[in-house]
Amino acid sequence: MPTVNAYAAQTATSPLAPFQIVRRELNANDVQVEILYSGVCHSDVHQARSEWGPSLYPLVPGHEIVGRVTAVGAEVGRFKVGDLAGVGVLVDSCQHCDSCSAGLEQYCENGSTQTYNSRERESKAITFGGYSTSIVVREEFVLRVPESLDLKAVAPLLCAGITMYSPLRHWKIGAGHNVAVVGLGGLGHMGIKLAAAMGAQVTLFTTSQGKAEDGLRLGAHHVVISSDKAAMKAVRASFDFILSTVPTSHDLNPYLGTLKLGGQLVIVGAIDPVEVHGGQLISHRRSVSGSNIGGLQETQEMLDFCAEHGIVADIELIDMQDINAAYDRVVKNDVKYRFVIDMASLKREQPEEKNSAAD
Ligand code: NAP
Ligand code: ZN
């Protein structure tokens, strides 16, 4: 089976280091993608460090993958060798439950298969993500990547982009809506760009004074420093919709107070407990919801929307060898606004890969 070069964490406390992984032989409906760029999501850090409960090790992160098709199985119809391709957070699902039938594979009732830190449905082998030179994925979970966009800046759309796009679409956000995005990081900066492109009035809530100018440059119409009590008071009961990308447990109440009557706050960041005061909900019939990435059809729609509107991420390109320093910078809130790994750096460094079935 093909052996390919990767970077893996061996335990929750060890740094990522070179590692060779085995990719499966192509099934009839599989697509093999040579990975050109791989985005670095805060979820990669959470999982490499077992911050969401014990992860499966060795762990090869990466679920914002862009590359070129290098081989296809006999029954693949939508891709041919040489095509651009994208892979996001999902690589498989049951394909027959109500959620899958509705194109909501991320909510598969039998458990979707994640690109890494998950198990393949048949073989139960651990799945390995995009910090590697190639990946094999069933055709239904491979996205078409528009040729017109800057490829390295497209990679973050596969997770950060869709995680913002899906709730904006689900709650039908557009012109006439007053929207706020909490946190200017990988997700948040995409949320601003997408909500603005959909015609909404957009406000950024940030804890970082130094990001105010960038917030406006990225498309926000207003910026509110969330620690500034007077500024928070000035936007009381003014938003229809708030998207919170805050990555940890936090107090939602200051943000809830800024929602209008019937307003909706959607959490995509924190999977930990959050503080909600019942009175904040009752007084203005407000709601709190969550949202998980997006389905395959919607991810394709998002990529096409981004092509139409010329939207990509603002990125800092790094070599694979710089990944541990990049993780520390993600945690320190020091990234503008997404790290993307240039996979050419991994190809240069590592031992020869073996492609023969006899290996
Ligand atoms: P990120 O780049 O680190 O951005 C998070 C931003 O949140 C930071 O830039 C910061 O913005 C703000 N922030 C950080 N700590 C905060 C705190 N304690 N209180 C208030 N604000 C804080 O992370 P990301 O990659 O965008 O991911 C954000 C979260 O979403 C992560 O937890 C990730 O695992 C999760 N995620 C969820 C999904 C999903 O499907 N639901 C998908 C992808 C990622 P300011 O400096 O502007 O305050
Ligand atoms: Zn992600």
245 lines ligand 1 (CB under 6 A): yes
Looking at residue 127, its pLDDT comes to 98
Q: Is residue 298 domain-resident?
A: no
Q: Which CATH number does the domain housing residue 61 bear?
A: 3.90.180.10
181 lines ligand 1 (CB under 6 A): no
Q: Specify whether 13 is located in the same domain as 136.
A: yes
Among protein residues, the one whose CA lies closest to atom 29 of ligand 1: 269
Span from the CA of 84 to the centroid of ligand 2 (angstroms): 20
Q: Specify whether 282 is located in the same domain as 329.
A: no
| Measured distance CA(343)–CA(121) in Å, rounded | 27
| Measured distance CA(250)–CA(139) in Å, rounded | 39
Do 342 and 317 form a contact (C-beta atoms < 8 A)? yes
Q: From the CA of 313, which ligand is nearest?
A: 1
Q: Specify whether 261 is located in the same domain as 333.
A: no
Q: Specify whether 11 is located in the same domain as 126.
A: yes
Q: Is residue 122 domain-resident?
A: yes
46 lines ligand 1 (CB under 6 A): yes
Among protein residues, the one whose CA lies closest to atom 8 of ligand 1: 185
Span from the CA of 221 to the centroid of ligand 1 (angstroms): 21
Span from the CA of 236 to the centroid of ligand 2 (angstroms): 31
Q: Judging by beta carbons within 10 Å of its beta carbon (0-12, 13-18, 19+), is residue 70 exposed, middle or buried?
A: middle
Q: From the CA of 326, which ligand is nearest?
A: 1
> Shortest CA distance to 244 belongs to which of 236, 253, 235?
253
Q: What residues does 265 pair with on adjacent strands?
A: 242, 288
Q: Is residue 305 domain-resident?
A: no
| Measured distance CA(203)–CA(220) in Å, rounded | 5
Q: Is residue 222 domain-resident?
A: yes
Q: Is residue 194 domain-resident?
A: yes
Q: Average pLDDT per run of 10 along the chain, which is 359 residues long?
A: 94 98 97 98 98 97 98 98 98 98 98 98 96 98 96 98 98 98 98 98 97 98 98 98 96 97 96 93 98 98 98 98 98 97 89 57
Count of C-beta atoms within a 10 Å radius of residue 128: 25
Q: Specify whether 51 is located in the same domain as 143.
A: yes
Checking DSSP bridges between strand 113-114 and strand 30-40, what pairing results, if any? unpaired
Q: Specify whether 38 is located in the same domain as 64.
A: yes
In total, the chain counts a number of residues equal to 359
Helix (H, G, I), strand (E, B) or coil at 307: helix
Looking at residue 251, its pLDDT comes to 95
| Measured distance CA(64)–CA(273) in Å, rounded | 27
Q: Specify whether 107 is located in the same domain as 199.
A: no
When divided into structural domains, the chain yields a total of 2
Looking at residue 81, its pLDDT comes to 98
330 lines ligand 1 (CB under 6 A): yes
Phi/psi of residue 98, nearest 5 degrees = -60, -40
Q: Specify whether 237 is located in the same domain as 178.
A: yes
* Nearest-atom index, ligand 1, CA of 337: 2
Question: Angle at Cα 46 formed by Cα 45 and Cα 52, nearest 5°?
Answer: 160
Domain of 117, in residue numbers:
3-159+312-348
Do 19 and 58 form a contact (C-beta atoms < 8 A)? yes
The widest CA-to-CA distance across the chain, in whole angstroms, is: 68
Rounded to the nearest integer, the mean pLDDT of the chain is 96
Phi/psi of residue 353, nearest 5 degrees = -90, 155
Q: From the CA of 315, which ligand is nearest?
A: 1
Q: Judging by beta carbons within 10 Å of its beta carbon (0-12, 13-18, 19+), is residue 94 exposed, middle or buried?
A: middle
Distance, first Cα to last Cα, the chain: 6
250 lines ligand 1 (CB under 6 A): yes
Q: Which CATH number does the domain housing residue 279 bear?
A: 3.40.50.720
Q: Is residue 77 domain-resident?
A: yes
Q: Specify whether 62 is located in the same domain as 17.
A: yes
Strand order in the sheet with 178-182: 222-225, 201-206, 178-182, 239-244, 259-267, 287-290
| Measured distance CA(106)–CA(95) in Å, rounded | 11
Q: Sign of torsion, CA 114 117 118 120?
A: positive
| Measured distance CA(40)–CA(321) in Å, rounded | 13
Question: Angle at Cα 18 formed by Cα 15 and Cα 22, nearest 5°?
Answer: 120
Q: Specify whether 171 is located in the same domain as 281.
A: yes
Q: Is residue 355 domain-resident?
A: no
| Measured distance CA(153)–CA(307) in Å, rounded | 12
Looking at residue 359, its pLDDT comes to 38
Span from the CA of 225 to the centroid of ligand 2 (angstroms): 25
Helix (H, G, I), strand (E, B) or coil at 256: helix
43 lines ligand 1 (CB under 6 A): yes
* Nearest-atom index, ligand 1, CA of 290: 41
Distance of CA 98 to the CA centre of its chain: 24
Looking at residue 358, its pLDDT comes to 38
Q: Sign of torsion, CA 200 253 164 331?
A: positive
> Per-residue pLDDT tens for 272-305?
899 999 999 999 999 999 999 999 999 999 999 9
Do 268 and 250 form a contact (C-beta atoms < 8 A)? no
Count of C-beta atoms within a 10 Å radius of residue 308: 11
Q: Specify whether 105 is located in the same domain as 127.
A: yes
Q: Specify whether 242 is located in the same domain as 131.
A: no
222 lines ligand 1 (CB under 6 A): no
Q: Is residue 86 domain-resident?
A: yes
Distances in whole angstroms, Cα of residue 209 to Cα of each of 54, 206, 214: 35, 7, 10
> Per-residue pLDDT tens for 138-153?
999 999 999 999 999 9
Span from the CA of 268 to the centroid of ligand 1 (angstroms): 9
Among protein residues, the one whose CA lies closest to atom 22 of ligand 1: 246
